[in-house]
Structure 1
């Protein structure tokens, strides 16, 4: 769920904090992606993609196309996987599982928390062949994404859930997809706080009042009224002293302090212990894994890899011949697998932030995974 109606509140009350940019504006940026949200999109896109064994491999196709699209645009992605959900989230997860069971679709619940190990391992294998790093979060992926942004290791968080902002991500982008004309919404947390006249702690209180994953929502307290009351009184405790408890009863087992603590002091992977490295994709490994092991259409995989290779900058000088390995055999390079030149790496240090172009944010959710060739 994320934070209910938070995007609407920001667009109405702090519109200057939201910008629309074409994806190419993020060239040379490092972007942390919430892997669970991306996999959910790919797995639930229609039509689903099944291989000859009846396995749904939509998530692999979507991850393959989207990652190559980001690399083609000079973006350095890093995927962050969810860890163990907090105890306060268990009631929400139980309701989701019950609803999914009622739909006879338990495998495709709202979020991909606690991904089945084989599915997660397949995604990690694919990312390894793509040369893209991934991070295992100890708890919520968005919290670790936010920690990576605050540490300066990545530029922004890419996810559809707005709770990356109360976790402290300085920048959040939404509506990322593999279309050539993709435009994303960027939310600036410092600008949001300034326009709303709030501290980060007060912003977390607003998110709790709006409705979050960790506690229930106060009855009949809408987003506009919640914002107004919090701006007037400063804290939830003061808001409660100025509303009628008969009209606005608290939800059962409401753990306000626990929810605050999860947002303001979340359990995250230590950014100082994380090393992010990118390599050129391994075309042989990708064809072997996707086409031979997972039975994705081999011609389609090769065609997409060739498009990626043809999009790479051409070197000014011819590359030296490859030397044989000590075993007398050498690994085939990308230029040999497809007749094109080796990719030039983007610079490690991000360039200056692009100037903002004020546009009306666009709505929509990417769902390219089920199409024959996403991003074409």
Structure 2
């Protein structure tokens, strides 16, 4: 994303992008729900530290703490912007993708829209990627049930596969690519059984000892050299974060799309954040005019009138067709409007 600075030298590109993107979704008949990250798990701290250092370097911040402060301020600004647009937000207690998955599994929303594939490991039944304002307009839809069917795996085995290939909570097992990891998991059923096959010494650290392995033949020695486990590899912790994540209580979540507050929005974006007032008003007026036209047309429409499909707004890549594999493309079958998004 290009860096856009206001006249005070403050970066406003994320806020500006959220403004235009949200209006585009609303004009397309989509009702987005934005979910914000909460406290990251302890196992994710090494990854976050590296990201903070990189962000500080990109923005010229003297230390990662400064970048973290800037992102906290930006998060609150995004919530304010969405509030003036009348779009609901959900504050996740921990990982946003985990709460998105919980909302989707409960039926409060139809899909999780994010570029982070962890949403599938958290159990989101449907994932949408590339939901952009610009570009080709092609949305990629991935169905978790179809993925599991084609991979011939249980949800628990799918999580094990994600852990083996590396995730935010632990490093990957060196030398194991997707094909080999999938084959070994299918063959052995779980990481524990796979480790017993690959690395007897590491398996001993999991409490099973050497005696049950029947020795350490040359095959095991070669495998140990080819696939050493990462340092500080917390398998149980990573698996627990995926299968039993800390999420918002969906029973307490109320999703309400309110009427927008145009003047308050202009005051916030143009006068507080110093975005171009002309551009803000022009884009806002176009959206409000679209709303007005739709309101005039709706009263005469019968309740059973066909609603437009999501694929008519964004041509959907087809994913999960049984004949073509877990990552092939499938179209949306019926109108689905509510999406949970991780900003």
Q: TM-score range by the shorter chain?
A: 0.7 to 0.9
State whether residues 172 and 187 of structure 1, in contact with CA within 8 Å, keep that contact through their aligned partners in structure 2: yes
The alpha carbon displacement at 1:165 in A equals: 0.3
Distance (Å, rounded) in 2 between the aligned partners of 1:53 and 1:88:
37
Say if 2:38 and 2:94, in contact at 8 Å, map to a contact too. yes
Residues 82, 113 of structure 1: 8 Å contact kept: no
* CA drift at 1:122: 1.0
Which of 230, 243, 253 pairs up with 1:274? Answer: 253
Instruction: State the distance in 1 between where 2:134 and 2:98 align.
Output: 28
Q: Are residues 1:52 and 2:31 paired?
A: no
CA distance in 2, matches of 1:258, 1:143: 15
Specify which of 21, 26, 37 is matched with residue 71 of structure 1: 26
- 1:84, 1:114 within 8 Å by CA — same for their partners in 2? no
Match of 2:339? Answer: none
1:94 Cα deviation after fit: 2.2
Distance verdict in 2 for CA 1:158–1:87, change over 3 Å: same
> Match for 2:159 among 195, 201, 204?
204
Q: Distance in 1 between matches of 2:119 and 2:271?
A: 37
More helix per residue: 1 or 2?
A: 2
**Contact 2:188/2:194 (CA < 8 Å) preserved in 1?**
yes
Alpha-carbon distance, 1:100 to partner: 4.3
Aligned twin of 1:228: 183
Residue 242 of structure 2 is matched in structure 1 by 263
Q: Distance in 2 between matches of 1:357 and 1:57?
A: 31
Relative distance call for 1:353 and 1:193 in structure 2 (3 A) is farther
Q: Which residue of structure 2 lines up, in the alignment, with residue 178 of structure 1?
A: 133
Q: Does 1:288 align with 2:243?
A: no
Measured after TM superposition, the shift of residue 188 of structure 1 is 0.3
Q: Paired residue for 2:50?
A: 95
Deviation at 1:311, TM superposition (A): 2.1
CA distance in 2: counterparts of 1:239 and 1:114, whole angstroms: 43
- Write out aligned runs for 1:144-223 (5 A): 144-179=99-134, 182-223=137-178
In structure 1, list runs of 5 or more residues that go unmatched: 1-44, 318-340, 362-376
Q: Secondary structure at the match of 1:135?
A: strand
Which segments of 5 or more consecutive residues in structure 2 lack a partner in the other structure? Answer: 199-222, 320-327, 330-343
- CA deviation vs aligned residue, 1:340-369 (integer Å, no higher than 9, x gap): x99x9x99xx999879874876xxxxxxxx
Partner of 2:88: 133
Deviations 1:275-300 (A, max 9, x none): 00001221111111111111111110
TM-score by length of 1: 0.70
1:160–1:175 contact (8 Å) kept in structure 2: yes
Corresponding pairs, count:
287
Alignment TM-score, normalising by the size of structure 2: 0.76
Structure 1 position 116, deviation (Å): 3.6
CA displacement, residues 181-217 of structure 1 (integer Å, 9 cap, x when unaligned):
6221011000000000000000000000111010111
Secondary structure of 1:187's aligned partner: strand
Q: Is the 8 A contact 2:15 2:74 kept in 1?
A: no
